[in-house]
Amino acid sequence: MVVAGRRVPVTLHVHPVDLLRDVDVIVSPVNVHFALPEPFKASVAASLRRAGALRDAAGGLVEDRIHDELRGWAARHGVTGRAALPGTVAPTGPGALADQGIRRLYHAAVTVPRAGTNDYDVLPADVTRAVTRVFALLAAERDGFAPPLRSVCFPLLGSGRGGLPYAESLGAVWTAVEAELARGSGWDVHLVVRHPERAGLVERLLTGGPPPDGAPVVTGRKEHG
């Protein structure tokens, strides 16, 4: 794609998030309490929790690594038992996903539970804020790894249980991605969606077709994983 006059590759994966391989950082949406969903759920966060768990030869759970590490982060940062600010990003290791070449998970707090219900609220501005903080955290952690962190993959944050329409989620994510790439940063950016119909929204953005909800028109390439 072309951003600020510079050609920058962006890869689109069309498959479940837990099948990603050889991407340094996967961004996982989470609620503002940093409480992960149960691993048998179908959400992005649940899929990553399940894939990151350490299991024995019979498939029994040995260590719920991502869940445990995220709880530790919340305790160290004083958010256990209370809500963090929307847009906060917490890093953890990848657990067993390290076997797939994943090196970090960044948990982006974008969903706010609605009191007395099973529903959530998500604001596009909080999604954009979270993506901006992902890039700041990536820059801060980059040189602490060998080789340095370089690639990052975003799902359509807030578009699952959060209820944010896919086009609005894409526009909110892209606003921050485009701003970061326009600064001349050299990140290798990936997007992942599970279903082809959602991929169509992203493809129109990347290939310069009619943009969803006012998202910018750019050019790019698509990769099916």
Residue 115 has a pLDDT of: 83
Per-residue pLDDT reduced to its tens digit, 151-181 = 999 999 999 877 899 989 999 999 999 999 9
Which single residue is written with the structure tokens 């903080």? 133
Does residue 190 have a pLDDT over 90?
yes
| pTM beyond cutoff 0.85 | yes
Q: Is 132 exposed, middle or buried (0-12, 13-18, 19+ CB in 10 A)?
A: middle
Residue 11 corresponds to which amino acid?
A: T
Contact in structure between 187 and 180 (CB atoms under 8 Å): yes
Per-residue pLDDT reduced to its tens digit, 124-152 = 999 999 999 999 999 999 999 999 999 99
Per-residue pLDDT reduced to its tens digit, 27-78 = 999 999 999 999 889 899 999 999 999 988 888 888 999 999 999 999 999 8
Residues in the chain: 225
CA dist 215 and 201 (Å) reads 10
Domains of the chain: 2-214 (3.40.220.10)
